[in-house]
Amino acid sequence: MMKTELEKCMAGEPFNGGKDPKIVEMILRTRRLLAQFNATDYADNGRKQELLREMLGSVGKGVHVDIDFHCEYGKNIFVGNKVIINMNCTFVDNHRIEIGDNVLIASNVQIYTATHSTDVHERMVWDWQEGDDICYTIARPVRIENGVWIGGGAILLPGVTIGKNSVIGAGSVVTRSIPANCVAVGNPCRVIRHLKSLLAPQ
């Protein structure tokens, strides 16, 4: 039995989302919910929490997501307890984005699970028809463990894990996984200091 495009997506295989009605409907649904969320009165925390719980895969306690917020599927984002996602963040969640407890995500952070082949012959859809995506996408999960702080404007690329209690410096581009209990900065992001894990929350 042939896999659907959504099944290919979650298996890390090249997929064409425009060919899968479930993907198309999921994106449309999320765009509508995002429009409501970003237009909700800033003081109406109850309504914002309702929309987040409808839009995302799961949302823990003590979660604050500032506006404007942008995502792709919505249901692939799983947020733990006591998490701040500051203004103007973009999460391209073609695959799972898992965010642990006690996590701070500063403004303008971008998290990407989607990538493409560097070979144009593999990247583009050559038998394209109206309604199809023009290219194939490959999705890899991103994981942010407990106690992480991600500085403003940082970019996390597909497939990376940020280990518990680590700090990612502002403007960093994370191309590879970062171990626990360290400070990492730069483009590409590299570890510059190790932290005392005994002092950090578990």
Q: Residue 45 maps to which CATH number?
A: 2.160.10.10
Among 70, 95, 116, 121, the one annotated catalytic: 116
Q: Considering its fold, how many domains does the chain have in total?
A: 1
Give me the residues of the chain with pLDDT under 50, please: 199-202
125 falls within a domain: yes
202 falls within a domain: no
Average per-residue pLDDT for the chain: 94
68 falls within a domain: yes
Return the pLDDT at 197. 66
158 falls within a domain: yes
Q: What own/partner pairs with CB < 8 Å and gap ≥ 24 does 196-200 have?
A: 197/165, 200/147, 200/164, 200/165
Active site residue 116: yes
Cα 144 to Cα 122: distance, rounded to the nearest angstrom: 30
Return the pLDDT at 27. 96
Question: 127 near 102, Cβ under 8 Å?
Answer: no
**Which residue segment(s) compose the domain that 20 sits in?**
5-195
pTM for the model stands at 0.93
Return the pLDDT at 200. 46
Cα 145 to Cα 100: distance, rounded to the nearest angstrom: 5
Cα 188 to Cα 178: distance, rounded to the nearest angstrom: 11
